[in-house]
Amino acid sequence: MEKSVRSRRREDNESFYNPILPIHKWKDELVRAAKDNSFLIVMGDTGSGKTTQLPQYLYKAGFGKNGMIGVTQPRRVATISVAQRVAEEMNCSLGSTVGYQVRFDDCTSERTVIKYMTDGCLLRNTLADPDLTKYSTIVLDEAHERSLSTDILFGLLKKQFQLGSRKRRKYPLTVIVMSATLETQKLSLFFGNCPVVTIPGKLFPIKERFLNLIGPRDKDSTAYVTETVKVTLQTHLNETEGDILVFLTGQAEIERACNLLFKKAEAIDYRHDLYDRSVEGLLILPLYGSMPTDQQKRIFLAPPAGIRKCVLSTNIAATSVTIEGIRYVVDSGFVKQLNYNPRAGLDILEIVPISKSEAVQRAGRAGRTAPGKCFRIYSEEFWEKCMPDHMIPDIKRTSLASVILTLKCLEIHDVIRFPYLDHPEEKHILEALKKLYQCGAIDRTGCVTKLGHFIMEFPLSPNLACAVIKATSFGCQELLLPVAAMLSVEHVFIQSGESQKQKEAGQGHEELSQLAGGCNDFATLLYIFEQCKTSPKPAAWCHKNGIHWRALKSALNVEKQLKEIANRLKENKDFPVEKFDGPRNEMLRHCLCAGYFSNVARRSVGRTFRTMDGHGSIIHIHPSSALFGKESQLEWILFHNVLVTSKIFVRTVCPIRYEWVKDLLPKLHDIDAYELSNVAREEVTAEEILKWESKEETKHRNDGTEEALNKIKKRNDDKSISDAKARYLQRKQQKSEMLKMEPS
DNA sequence: GAGCACTGC
């Protein structure tokens, strides 16, 4: 990724030496608008210079006098490189007037006025300083990406403003939202009809063509890979000079496409390995996130004279990595997306059509240095019928437990009526509340418990934090902290595409799990971590054992941070201290039970298990687990996560004893999530219920399936204010009855 | 006997 920073810098330097950045013309208007309004939206295309220039304008206009100008970015590398760039432009050293803060790296000082940071960092800082008294201005950049943290910050900033944080602050706060393609109307409305300043970018014209190879009927087929390859080859044969960027969905698809492309050209150059095949003047390069860094770097090198570079990439090339010299984009129209299904309580990784605005962004990659062309393999009908206007934001697609706990810690109890720019499904919020209640982070009244505040201190999922806290109170944190770190970094096992290498890697992993005891995937992670930490040459050890050194490095970093937090919390008088009475080899699994008892399953028929969380889903142990094939010897298991593909698989598994979870399991069923939410919405009105329901309805309508349409029809039949009221009263009745039944 | 996009604290 280092290279991507350098490449970005190169592009920025170009703008540096060219003083006619599009944004310069708008300087006065921007400063005036920022002075006159609490909220301002700046819409600027790629290359307009907004990220580096606007904070400097504000600084020169005196915005930094009453507090810092905080600028958020969704990614670490971008945060650091932009801060470096601005420090250079302002002729100061990084960390003085211009600084940055990302996790593990705070490069700011008392003198810092312009502070770049990741959105997650600002959100965390908000916990300590809810009124953001250190800042005079907050700039939320790349808002169109709709990251979870940015979305929450939208709501917080709006809410703080409504609550009159202005009175508690010495000086009013100015909020500026910057975006490339976000629905600015919607955002302006959200922030009280605030003004929008639009800055044109400096993209070259791009010709876009629909090739009609994929239509609405092919929505679920895998034909897009072969069709994309065809188009790529045609582009190579028919078009003039210029590199090609191909958007595909994942590692497997990309490797398949590379091979196909290669076979079609019918010439194999055996002098090169898989990642460096050059045929008929075409240099084929794959690019995906889990690829080793040194291989990723190769995509930035200029191809030899007379050779055309063709990069087959995942969505990583749409946001995180900028490749120079691309003139042709081939868009498959699909993306792999992790979607949370609250009904099943599962994360499902699926291949879905991209949105129209993402397609526009992809096309934009062709026009950064010269006029370009974008070939869309799908038809216009597909565009109209299958592709939504905008991407569904993270907040509607991922588990909300951590987010809800953050809000509760900020004393925002009514998490259902929090001003979300896009309101998550109520069911989704309820699921999160239930999860928080189950792990003890909130009590029956929906308030954050002491444990909940401890959980919040850790940059981990509530489940994992809970297990870590248990271990700390038992005095065996050295067992859990490494496991937590390994589980919260990217996948540590290398997945090679080539079958031979893959086999070898698989065998290596099997050996590792044998060395770690043979029947506990968590223990395998602990073993790898310890081996790596004590090895004199950790990078070499990782390479030999098929482990991502990059992932291990960040795991070592995370573990250090977790240890600091755990040690600090232990000083707190309220931190629990418990004694563990049991054999030491059971400690790890026992602690895991404290956080993961909702992820417990019992042996069912054949090699399957049934979950105990109320969904009762049938699950299978994933073949990558050390427990795979040993199902018949198991009764109760605990798992870290679920992956739905051809079956419902659980990964990272260990066996447990029923006694360990016996007292915990009832907690999974002793509360109705509505009860937790009702506390937050005592004065809920029937009108509001109708509003929520109509939101759900819009969603169904967007689904467009017959079943969904029937649902709407059915709902419309009995839709009236009085009915909504009746439904609400019924729920309230159920709730009070339930409370009555509760033993005191 | 399967096949895991991308971020962030």
pLDDT in tens, A674-706: 777 765 444 444 555 555 555 555 555 444 445
Strand B–CB A39 distance below 7 A: no
With CA of A287 and C1' of each nucleotide, the nearest comes out as B5
| Predicted confidence band of residue A495 (pLDDT cuts 50, 70, 90) | confident
Q: CATH number of the domain at A190, please.
A: 3.40.50.300
The alpha-helical segments, DSSP class H, found in A342-449 are 356-364, 380-386, 401-409, 426-438
Same domain, A385 and A458: no
Q: A219 pLDDT exceeds 90? A: no
Tell me the CA–C1' distance in angstroms for A622 and B3: 11
CB A420 within 8 A of CB A692: no
- Domain-terminating residue out of A666, A692, A717: A666
Residue A602 lies in a domain: yes
For residues A194 and A277, state if they share a domain: no
Q: Chain A, 216-255: which CBs lie within 7 Å of strand B?
A: 249-252
Residue nearest to nucleotide B7 (CA to C1'): A75
Confidence of residue A7 (pLDDT cuts 50, 70, 90): very low
Q: pLDDT tens for residues A447-480?
A: 999 999 999 999 999 999 999 999 999 999 999 9
Residues A59 and A194 placed together within one structural domain of the fold: yes
User: How many domains does chain A divide into?
Assistant: 4
- Using the CA of A147, which nucleotide's C1' is the nearest one? B7
Look up the protein residue whose alpha carbon has the minimum distance to the C1' of B3. A252
Statement: the CB of A590 is under 7 Å from strand B: no
A75 CA vs B8 C1’ separation (Å): 7
Does the C-beta of A508 come within 7 A of strand B? no
Is A678 part of a structural domain of the chain?
Answer: no
The region of weakest confidence among A2-6, A385-389, A723-727 is A2-6
Within-domain flag for A676:
no
Q: Based on the domain organization, do A385 and A525 belong to the same domain? A: no
**CB atoms closer than 10 angstroms to residue A689:** 19
pLDDT of A277 = 45
- What is d(CA A525, CA A516) in angstroms, rounded to the nearest whole number? 8
The answer to whether residues A565 and A584 belong to one domain is yes
pLDDT of residue A742: 36
- By three-state DSSP, how is residue A310 classified? strand
Question: Which band of pLDDT confidence, cut at 50, 70 and 90, is reported for residue A217?
Answer: confident
A5: CB within 7 A of chain B nucleic strand: no
DSSP state for residue A63 in the 8-state scheme: G
Span CA (A43) to C1' (B4), Å = 35
Per-residue model confidence (pLDDT) at position A276: 42
Identify the CA nearest to A682 among candidates A731, A723, A722: A731
Q: Which nucleotides of B are covered by protein (CB under 7 A)?
A: 1-9
Give a yes or no: residue A271 inside a domain.
yes
The verdict on residue A671 lying in a domain is no
Residues A25 and A83 in one domain: yes
Q: A165 and A255 share a domain? A: no
For residue A233, the enclosing domain spans 206-395
Quick one: which residue's CA is nearest to B1's C1'? A623
- Report pLDDT for A45: 77
**A163 and A112 share one domain:** yes
pLDDT score, position A10: 40
In angstroms, rounded to a whole number, what is the distance separating the alpha carbons of residues A288 and A594? 36
Give the integer Cα–Cα distance in Å for A527 and A513.
8
Q: Pick from A377, A395, A413: which residue ends a domain?
A: A395
Q: What percent of chain A has pLDDT over 90?
A: 49
Protein chain A, residues 83-112, with a C-beta closer than 7 Å to any atom of nucleic acid strand B: 102-103
Does the CB of A459 fall within 7 Å of any strand B atom? Answer: yes
Domain finish residue from A666, A700, A716: A666
Residue A2 has pLDDT above 50, yes or no: no
Q: Could you read off the pLDDT of A561-597 as tens digits, one per residue?
A: 999 999 999 999 999 999 988 887 899 999 999 999 9
Q: Are residues A520 and A460 in the same domain?
A: yes
CA distance A91 to A436: 48
Whether A402 sits with its Cβ under 7 A from any strand B atom: the answer reads yes
Residues A418, A382, single domain; the answer is no
User: Does residue A673 form part of some domain?
Assistant: no
- A297 pLDDT tier (thresholds 50, 70, 90): confident
Mean pLDDT score across all residues of chain A? 83
Q: Which nucleotide is nearest to A394 (CA to C1')?
A: B7
pLDDT band at A726 (very low <50, low <70, confident <90, very high): low
pLDDT tens for A157-205 read: 998 777 655 567 778 899 999 998 768 889 999 999 999 999 887 778 8
Same domain, A386 and A443: no
Note whether A183 and A228 are same-domain residues: no
Position A725 scores a pLDDT of 55
pLDDT tens column, A643-654? 887 788 999 999
Q: What is the pLDDT of residues A339-351, one digit of tens each?
A: 887 667 777 888 8
pLDDT band at A741 (very low <50, low <70, confident <90, very high): very low
Residue A677 in any domain: the answer is no
Residue A644 has phi, psi (to 5 degrees) of -100, 115
In a domain, A679, yes or no: no
Q: What is the 3-state secondary structure (H, E, C) of A72-85?
A: EECCHHHHHHHHHH
